[in-house]
Structure 1
Amino acid sequence: MTEGNFVDYVKVHVSSGNGGKGSTHLHREKYVAKGGPDGGDGGRGGHVIVRGNKNLWTLLGFKFKRHFKAGHGEHGSKNRSTGGDGEDVYMEVPLGTVVKDVETEEILFEITEDGQERIVLAGGMGGRGNWHFKTPTNQTPRYAQPGIEGLEKDLILELKVLADVGLVGFPNAGKSTLLSVLTSAKPKIADYEFTTLKPNLGIVQYRDFQSFVIADIPGIIEGAAEGKGLGHYFLRHIERNAMLLFLIPADSKDIGKEYAILLDELRRYNPELMDKDRMVAISKSDMLDNELRTEMKAILDVTLKSVPYMFISSVAQQGLQELKDRLWMLLND
């Protein structure tokens, strides 16, 4: 999937259908001069329904269609015939989609399962026909209820990527390169910061035909929790990952400090992220000789404390199988 096709935030306008009118029909047939009221009820207006679809990975379809209008209910008719219900309109969304009210910014619900359906806007009720209003003192009511009008609302659809492993790191840490060698994904790779502007997903093929999903999240900068850089536009994707893999290059001035900054940004954005399993991978480690690696290990044992870490190189293909094994073990622990 190209970067331009990854759409994770859209605003849409939805309208439910009007309810049909109740009928004021009076029964008439041969030899029955005054048969009384027999007007049927109006049908309900169509609902606007959001439905989860596991085959979708992006909100791209809403980039070109942002207005959804359900059908109106049909009017009631004679012989107490109820009008047909208005046609429901379905909005298919990928799993991990959050639906918000634009006006209040309230989270209405989240779609996390395939086939899960939620009515985001109910259609108007149909009006009752005149036969409901027949009484001993008014046996031929010539009135019925009108249908209730449908509703309109502006919504925000916000996608939070569902992945097993989320790659976290500063810009240009090598996350896209790692994704490209572990999976069949083809993210944009270049030697400048913020090459990745949208999350990239890839499927890691593991032993015995097993697999897991890894997400390359755009680089974090200090102050991201307050919206600096790409701010909240990518931090929300980390919330859905089962575990986090911090990627820090071996030529970093202070690996422990970089890890602490990244961790602090996640904590300030959402303290619940601290409950996720974490692991640190030192990328570009092919530039280290044995002496430097030994010195770095001694420092990392102190600064990273109990957080597991390992040295890898995407370009030199070093430590990648061990990385898969460690990730699989953490995911299935």
Structure 2
Amino acid sequence: MGGVNQSVTSDFLLVGLCSHSGSCPLLFSLVAAMFIVGLLGNTVLLFLICMDPRLHTPMYFLLSQLSLFDVGFPLVTIPKMASDFLQVESSITFGGCAAQIFFLTLLGVAEGILLALMSYDRYVAVCHPLRYPVLMRRQVCLLMVGCSWTAGVLNASIQTSITLHFPYCASHTVDHFFCEVPALLQLSCADTSAYELALSISGVLILMLPLSLIAISYGHVLRAVLRMRSEEARHKAFTTCSSHITVVGLFYGAAVFMYMVPGAYHSPQQDNVASLFYSVITPMLNPLIYSLRNREVRMALVKLISRSGLRPK
């Protein structure tokens, strides 16, 4: 019990990205630039979806939730990292560490489930276009979003409470630039092997179930596209699905490396890079992928610029 009390009253020290890099100012500048671009991109995309009536469709409603997650991801980690860099102080309170674990786990699980449900949306749009208004009516979309948020909250509550229940009575130096469950468990002075095994199994299930739904959905989509006789219809179907497939690849690629590859096969430096990828790089790329490859979003952006008077005459 004394170890638990000590862990609650003690701060953790975050090693940060700079400990593994000799060019800290350059790395910090790149991360800050990606953070700003991602925040602006997702905010603009959210604004366009809210303001343009042509984007008030199930696909863009789900996309707005994805942008909301991508706004939250970097906000949980990057401001703290920037504060540590500017103040040369890398400590984080026990409560702050708990908050980072909770919100990152919530957003990660919720986004993974949302991406799987978005693949179902694309399946219905391509394979059952006439029934799309019924199968993807507003109540269904709200249920999808509610399921993703609920699953995220439940998983985050369980993981955060169990992880921080362990005593941290030895080193409090976290070899990461934010509090993440695998990095924190390495510091516990209790036996965490059973929990780590359960965490790995749950991680596989949380990743594999959505990936299975995505694979099944796009398997049906591919079969439907190959049966299309019109080249224009094929191109439209491919354009509609390719952006989502790209986003899925970016998100799940880093997640699979972090939570399905055993910790013995990757170093703390590689963990930092993977975490940086899904917490900063992917949120920055998602709005660019959807805006540059999507005609409706580009038209909405042009319309917004025209109304604001920024478009050159």
TM range (shorter): under 0.3
Higher relative contact order (CA 8 A, sep 6+): 2
Pick the structure with greater CA Rg. 1
Structure richer in strand, relative to its length: 1
User: Scaled by the length of structure 1, what TM-score is found?
Assistant: 0.20
